[in-house]
Amino acid sequence: MSLSSLPLKDRPALVRQQFPHFDIAGFIITRGDEYLGEYVAPYAERLAWLTGFTGSAGLAILLNDKGCVFSDGRYTVQMKDQTLPEHWETRHSGKTPPRQWLEEHAQGLRIGYDPTLVSQRELAAWSSPHIQLIALEGNPIDAAWTDQPVPPTTPIIHHPLEFTGKTSREKRAELAQQLRKAGQEAMIIADCPSLAWLLNIRGHDIAMTPIAHAYGILYASGQVEIFAEQSRFHDAVEDDGILPKAPSSLPTALQHLSGKLVRLDPATTPLWFRMTLEAAGAEIADGPDLCTLPKAIKTKTEQDGNRRAHQLDSIALARFLHWVEKHGVGQRETALAAKLESFRALSPDYKGPSFETISAAGPNGAYPHYRAEVGHDSILTENCVYLVDSGAQYPFGTTDITRTLWIGPDEPPAALKKAFTAVLRGHIALSRQRFPHGLPGYRLDSVARSALWNMGLDFDHGTGHGIGSYLSVHEGPQSISVALRPTGLVPGMILSNEPGYYEVGAYGIRIENLLLVKESTLNGPSGPFLEFETLTHTPIDKRLIDTAHLTPDERQWLDRYHATVQERLLPLLERELHEWVKESCAPLT
């Protein structure tokens, strides 16, 4: 998808032409929009417009004589493939942080950034006594991007109690009590999923994540001002404590907080808010967005809704996997993704994908976030690996699932089966793990890697991320990752379980189910331990398993998992799929 009629090679020069107007010698371009979201609307694809890199995480630094694009391990290959080497270096952000690159190439230079697109935490990560970082009024990319799309203004829709299990008034009352206890007068809400959760609203301002672009201010009284045009509210707001305000009135509302203690999350709030509040004489109290944790702990209604969503998804995935086995050879990657979409769309509850499907044949699977594009995608051939990572949005839940398949009549290579089995063992180990209440997710990450590590293998992404409920497919604060995030796991949280292995030039392997944290029957001295309930019920390809490398307990887990899958699927599927389900879910031999 082209973001502009202007050739990619000409764009850096146009942005550099803006530098004298801003009195800068360089500019930092972030991936996020002014709501700091992972996924952005076309108008906010500034990083992709300038560099060609379309990954969901990263940034670029453009200087007068050079430029560099940064992202994490999911996108190192994609960065090289999508950017022009004569304009851009590419760096792994964990191995060569942007600050290090700036210190090497930009000492003594004035480097601009847009404070509406950058959080305090991001700025701190770039800061160095050797670099002058300058907050700009305006954005040189917006000045150069003459055919930039306009921001979306889709309807804001009430999300009913039957899907949420708790009213907005109840949520606001609980958070307002926390504000009063802390002596804080108000909290800025710049994170759109937080605002959607708190007010029980949804929208369609970006593809695949049902949010409305808006800011909010929660007051200690429990009232919320939401800064979005009144015409966008096509359903009545839930109660009179939700006050729609024109976006143009936001600076005035912040001015009225002069002399008050205002809570602000330095990770999710654009720096512009801090600058405006401080100029108005408000006192800032840094602290996590109070919506983030309760949003992650699903109500019983949301838990049941997510089980229902996964049931519908299991039907679509079974039909798709059966179809791929019978008809997949010779199909293009984009056609395979479209076929999966068509099976999901058979459900009247289906609202669309939760992210762009990763449909990757053979070597393309080695890119963890591969994107197949029409005209540039590969054809699925016999005797190769096919990796499909996809998800769906339903009004009662959000799904995310990955399966790795062997396509073809021949026996898979022994090395492939050995690697797949190690990934499967890590997946099973995490699924079965019991752990103390409140254990941070990073302490579970090695559980999913142990079998790979014992073979000298690893994967360069997190093992698990949080999942929203008809919200973002990537949600915090919980995760299972090497990153030292301190949030403890508690009942009601949903996370992915997706270890993998990637052989560049050959294949990718990933097995992903979603897990619900719940209390275990195991009791320790301090009370019940926790465990996981597997929400995803889709067969795992047994042709890729080297059963000699599974322990009896691992075999038993997989057989029980497949027995549950078969039990759930057979009453829901047409009879012509029954034999395929039974064969796919038969016990290991």
pLDDT at 235: 79
Rg (C-alpha) for the chain, rounded Å, is: 24
pLDDT in tens, 446-473: 999 999 999 999 999 999 999 999 999 9
pLDDT digits (tens, 9 = 90+) for 228-238: 998 999 877 88
Question: How many Å apart are CA 585 and CA 537, to the nearest integer?
Answer: 11
In the chain, the largest separation of any two C-alpha atoms, in whole Å, equals: 73
Residues 277-299, mean pLDDT to the nearest whole number = 98
Do strands 261-264 and 358-361 pair parallel, antiparallel, or not at all (unpaired)? unpaired
Closest CA to 486 of 210, 267, 253, 215: 267
Note the CATH number of domain 157-294: 3.40.350.10
Q: Please give the pLDDT value at position 218.
A: 98
State the pLDDT at residue 234: 80
The architecture (CATH level 2) of 8-144 comes to 3-Layer(aba) Sandwich (3.40)
Written as one string, the DSSP assignment of 260-300 is SEEEE-TTTSBHHHHHHHHHHTPEEEE---TTHHHHHS--H
| pLDDT value at 581 more than 80 | yes
Backbone angles phi, psi at 526, to 5 degrees: -100, 5
Report domain extents, the chain.
8-144, 157-294, 297-584
Question: Percent of the chain beyond pLDDT 90?
Answer: 91
Indicate the class that CATH gives domain 297-584: alpha beta
pLDDT computed for residue 369 by the predictor? 85
- Its pTM stands at 0.94
| Lowest-confidence segment of 90-99, 266-275, 537-546 by average pLDDT | 90-99
What is the C-alpha separation between 342 and 412, in angstroms, rounded? 29
Six-digit token string for 444 = 């579970």
Angle at 435 between CA 431 and CA 440, to 5 degrees: 100
Same CATH fold, 157-294 and 8-144?
yes
The residues, any chain, with a CB within 8 Å of residue 557's CB and separated by 6 or more, are: 428, 431, 432
pLDDT over threshold 70, residue 2: no
Average pLDDT, integer, range 240-268: 97
Q: What is the pLDDT of residues 157-197, one digit of tens each?
A: 999 999 999 999 999 999 999 999 999 999 999 999 999 99
When pLDDT is averaged across residues 72-78 and rounded to a whole number, the result is 82
Sheet architecture: strand order including 352-353? 352-353, 392-394, 397-398
